[in-house]
């Protein structure tokens, strides 16, 4: 692959619902431009994009792959993103380094959930875009219906730049509304527009000219005077409105059969911006914001947007150069981590195949292996001119599993493996839950977690098992109670003796001293108080009624007895522990459960179903607003009812509903549920003790 300077590069992200044809479009573009000798197939696992074993097994894209397409002395970096909603983090990372997007729509299915998400994410980065209506050769394909469904789902102005030449089995090419010519198949055969399609083409062209005229004042004046624009003027105007986001040109294709490719490639080069023509990237410098010029001679600014682990090569880091150049065998400064790294070979990737290069120019996307410290979202720059490129906002992972190692050998690798997985994918996270002593892995859904577990096995040789996480309940009391316990043990030699009288009561809001020595007259020496406190603290960790931590309890030791010979700290530790248990059980003990503040956004037509479902989850709705055709429901819901809500909400809303939640407060568990929780926990505890 030859070198391309900044003005001859295009960075284009393909986004859509799953199965709209992104991977096959990338494959067809490679084949059309002569980069491959045969067209790969998804079902055979032979595409350049889906090269991971897991992608071949599932026949879907799981991560973004970079597919450079060389056409007319330009290099188009096609970023093929996953369409399945669990892998939205990959889409966001790709859009972060793209200069434009092509939103693809299946001509049968129309505007789907993934299309809506892809569109919104492209909006987040203000990217100019095309709409590509694909699979026009399918049975039941309908260009007008598909276009109308997208127009209904977005406020953007959609302007056809092409209309299909035939539909379904009769789809044979595209009619270009700029040149007013018909392009057969992949676009190499150009003929006049068939007579029966000419009226529709003329009508659609008028809409295109109107949109193009808005690109420049001079074009608008000419359009008002003459009612017509030349082909070159249409291109000029359309380029301007597309890059401003004032209009979205619409194209047609059947990528699987290589129909409509040449016109699309021409449009990408002509209408979509190179890094030089894109809005300058903005970074944070020492003295505020810095605007980055896409130039080889500007100071270095590089963003690392993706990290993968290869069992043979090691860590691989994908980067985009915003300004300056990256050179092989050089030293760089990672400003995010504050460390210097040494670069070895630098490569331009095409799927899994890499071509070593000496330099990666401003605006281009490359890869470097074996960087020790650098991870996704880091900024690389000149040490003397430190800057930080902003990371995009990733959705918070809400689907949780408890994770544990399959074997003893795996247990030592659990922490580093999970850390590596989460470095690769910023929508994955993990933590230790102290209340339940479980390791929790969070992702976007069950498929996301399943893929992460399989990656741990294939890339790091670590095997995990998963289960539904336990809810971090706590135990507390509702009233005062007192109890005493005498620990007496004679074993031939010196014995053990300790007697403790104590009182428990709820700890009030704002109180911090929970353990108080109220003994007067010296019946229990103050030397034994730390032992009594230790015994009580041990019980508070283990729990009394259901094995959950005790919280918000105040303990007052007010009396006791000691023996001049047999009293020892261990005796008072045991006495304190047992007295606390007795008092706790007499003080109306209750379980508290975590209550989440949940914000659910769903299309209005699904609101009734979602509200009905929330009522079955013991939810208390706090508010309901309507915003642009969507209902936003705010509610307090117990965490136990939300553990698998990601899957349920997708099912109710056809994938269109999203939610976010955060811990809000604790509340007493209803009495009818407490017994079930206690019984289930008692079954669990002996098993854990045996382990």
Q: What is the DSSP letter of 254?
A: B
d(CA 157, CA 246): 7
Per-residue confidence at 510, pLDDT binned at 50, 70, 90?
confident
H or E stretch covering 539: helix 529-542
Per-residue confidence at 570, pLDDT binned at 50, 70, 90?
very high
For residue 291, give both structure tokens: 């605007």
Whether the pLDDT of residue 7 is over 50: the answer is yes
CB neighbours of 237 closer than 8 A, spacing ≥ 6? 211, 212, 213, 214, 215, 216, 219, 229
Average of per-residue pLDDT across 323-328: 93
d(CA 139, CA 151): 22
Whole-number pLDDT of residue 492: 67
Residue-wise pLDDT for 70-108, tens only, equals 999 999 999 999 988 889 999 999 999 999 999 999 999
Per-residue confidence at 686, pLDDT binned at 50, 70, 90?
low
Average of per-residue pLDDT across 604-618: 93
- Pair 649, 659: CB distance under 8 Å: yes
- Pair 443, 410: CB distance under 8 Å: no
Average of per-residue pLDDT across 586-591: 93
Query: Hey, CA dihedral for 294, 300, 303, 308, is it positive or negative?
Result: positive
d(CA 213, CA 238): 8
Residue-wise pLDDT for 208-229, tens only, equals 999 999 988 889 998 888 878 8
What is the CATH code of the structural domain delimited by 6-271? 3.40.50.300
Whole-number pLDDT of residue 509: 85
Whether the pLDDT of residue 494 is over 80: the answer is no
Whether the pLDDT of residue 499 is over 90: the answer is yes
156: left (phi over 0), alpha (psi -120 to 50) or beta: beta
Q: Which range scores top for mean pLDDT: 56-60, 61-65, 610-614, 624-628?
A: 610-614
Please list, residue by residue across 348-377, b when 16 or more beta carbons sit within 10 angstroms of its beta carbon and e when fewer do.
Answer: bbbbeebeebeebbbbbbbbbbebeebbbb
Residue 478: count other Cβ atoms within 10 Å of its Cβ. Answer: 12
Of 504, 476, 487, whose CA–CA distance to 573 is shortest? 487
- Pair 110, 145: CB distance under 8 Å: yes
Whole-number pLDDT of residue 58: 87
Residue-wise pLDDT for 352-404, tens only, equals 898 999 999 999 999 999 898 898 999 999 999 999 999 999 988 889 999 99
Whether the pLDDT of residue 682 is over 80: the answer is no
- In the sheet with 481-489, reading across from the earlier edge strand, the strands are 481-489, 496-506, 553-561, 515-517
H or E stretch covering 152: helix 143-153
Looking up tokens 């690389």, which residue turns up?
A: 380
Whether the pLDDT of residue 691 is over 70: the answer is no
Beta bridge partners of 504: 481, 555
Residue-wise pLDDT for 226-273, tens only, equals 878 899 999 999 999 999 999 999 999 999 899 999 999 999 999 999
Whole-number pLDDT of residue 687: 44
Measured N-to-C along each axis, helices 261-271 and 22-32 cross at an angle, to the nearest 10 degrees, of 90
Measured N-to-C along each axis, helices 645-653 and 607-615 cross at an angle, to the nearest 10 degrees, of 150
Whole-number pLDDT of residue 108: 93
Per-residue confidence at 431, pLDDT binned at 50, 70, 90?
very high
- In the sheet with 189-191, reading across from the earlier edge strand, the strands are 162-165, 173-176, 181-184, 189-191
Per-residue confidence at 685, pLDDT binned at 50, 70, 90?
low
Residue-wise pLDDT for 523-547, tens only, equals 888 899 999 999 999 999 988 988 8
Which CATH fold would you assign to the domain 475-587? Ribosomal Protein S5; domain 2 (3.30.230)
What is the CATH code of the structural domain delimited by 284-388? 2.40.30.10
Tell which wins on pLDDT, 79 or 288. Answer: 79
Domain 592-673 class in CATH: alpha beta
Residue 231: count other Cβ atoms within 10 Å of its Cβ. Answer: 11
Looking at 92-101, 204-213, 506-515, 631-640, which range is the least confident one? 506-515
Q: Where are the domains of the chain?
A: 6-271, 284-388, 400-467, 475-587, 592-673
Residue-wise pLDDT for 462-479, tens only, equals 999 999 998 999 999 999
CA neighbours closer than 13 Å in the CB half-sphere of residue 566? 18
Whole-number pLDDT of residue 53: 78
Fold match between domain 6-271 and domain 284-388: no
Separation of first and last alpha carbons in the chain: 58
Is the whole model's pTM more than 0.85, yes or no?
A: yes
d(CA 381, CA 284): 12
What is the CATH code of the structural domain delimited by 400-467? 3.30.70.870
CB neighbours of 431 closer than 8 A, spacing ≥ 6? 439, 440, 442
């Amino acid at each position: 692959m030859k070198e391309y300077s900044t003005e001859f590069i295009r960075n284009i992200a393909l986004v859509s619902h799953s199965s709209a044809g992104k991977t096959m479009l990338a494959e067809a573009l490679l084949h059309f431009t002569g980069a491959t000798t045969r067209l790969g197939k998804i079902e055979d696992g032979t595409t350049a994009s889906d090269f991971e074993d897991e992608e071949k097994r599932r026949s879907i894209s799981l991560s973004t792959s970079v597919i450079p397409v060389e056409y007319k002395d330009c290099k188009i970096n096609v970023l093929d993103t996953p369409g399945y909603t669990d892998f939205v983090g990959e889409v966001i990372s790709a859009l972060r380094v793209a200069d434009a997007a092509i939103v693809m729509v299946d001509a049968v299915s129309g505007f789907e959930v993934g299309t809506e998400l892809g569109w919104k994410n492209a909006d987040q980065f203000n990217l100019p875009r095309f709409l590509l209506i694909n699979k026009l050769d399918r049975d039941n394909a309908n260009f007008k219906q598909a276009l109308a469904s997208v127009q209904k789902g977005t406020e953007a102005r959609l302007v056809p730049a092409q209309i299909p030449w035939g539909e379904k089995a009769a789809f044979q090419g595209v009619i270009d509304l700029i040149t007013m010519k018909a392009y057969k198949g992949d676009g190499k055969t150009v003929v006049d527009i068939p007579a029966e399609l000419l009226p529709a083409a003329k009508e659609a062209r008028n809409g295109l000219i109107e949109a193009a005229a808005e690109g420049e004042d001079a074009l608008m004046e000419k359009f008002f005077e003459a009612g017509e624009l030349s082909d070159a003027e249409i291109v000029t105007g359309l380029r301007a409105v597309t890059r401003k986001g004032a209009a979205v040109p619409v194209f047609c294709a059947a990528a699987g059969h290589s129909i409509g490719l040449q016109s699309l490639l021409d449009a990408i080069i002509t209408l979509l911006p190179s890094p030089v023509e894109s809005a300058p990237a903005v970074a944070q410098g020492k003295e505020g914001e810095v605007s980055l010029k896409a130039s080889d001679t500007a100071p270095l600014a590089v963003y690392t947007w993706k990290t993968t682990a290869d069992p043979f090569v090691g860590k691989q880091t994908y980067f985009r150069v915003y300004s300056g150049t990256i050179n092989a065998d050089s030293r760089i400064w990672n400003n995010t981590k504050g460390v210097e790294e040494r670069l070895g070979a630098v490569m331009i990737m095409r799927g899994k195949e890499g071509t070593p290069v000496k330099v990666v120019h401003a605006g281009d996307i490359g890869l470097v292996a074996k960087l020790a410290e650098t991870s996704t979202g880091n900024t690389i720059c000149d040490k003397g001119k430190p800057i930080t490129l902003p990371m995009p906002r990733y959705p918070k992972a809400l689907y949780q599993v408890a994770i544990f190692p399959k074997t003893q050998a795996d247990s030592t690798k659990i922490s580093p493996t999970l850390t590596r997985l989460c470095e690769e994918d910023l929508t994955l996270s993990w933590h230790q839950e102290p209340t339940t002593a479980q390791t929790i892995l969070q992702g976007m859904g069950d498929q996301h977690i399943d893929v992460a577990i399989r990656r741990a096995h294939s890339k790091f040789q670590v095997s995990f098992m998963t289960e539904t996480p336990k809810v971090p309940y706590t135990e507390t009391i509702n009233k005062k109670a007192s109890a005493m316990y005498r620990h007496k043990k004679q074993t031939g030699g010196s014995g053990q003796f300790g007697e403790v009288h104590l009182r428990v009561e709820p700890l009030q809001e704002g109180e911090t001293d929970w353990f108080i020595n109220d003994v007067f007259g010296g019946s229990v020496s103050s030397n034994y108080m730390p032992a009594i406190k230790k015994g009580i603290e041990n019980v508070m960790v283990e729990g009394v009624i259901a094995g959950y931590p005790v919280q918000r309890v105040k303990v007052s030791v007010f009396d006791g007895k000691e023996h001049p010979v047999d009293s020892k700290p261990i005796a008072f530790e045991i006495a304190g522990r047992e007295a606390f248990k007795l008092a706790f059980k007499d003080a109306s003990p209750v379980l508290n459960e975590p209550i989440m503040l949940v914000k659910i956004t769903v299309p209005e037509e699904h609101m009734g179903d979602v509200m009905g479902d929330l009522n079955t989850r013991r939810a208390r709705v706090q508010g309901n607003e309507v915003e642009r055709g969507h209902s936003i429901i705010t509610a307090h819901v117990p965490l136990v009812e939300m553990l698998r809500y990601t899957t349920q909400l997708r099912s109710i809303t056809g994938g269109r509903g999203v939610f976010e939640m955060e811990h809000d407060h604790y509340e007493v568990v209803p009495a009818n549920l407490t017994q079930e929780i206690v019984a289930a926990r008692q079954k669990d505890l002996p098993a854990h003790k045996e382990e």
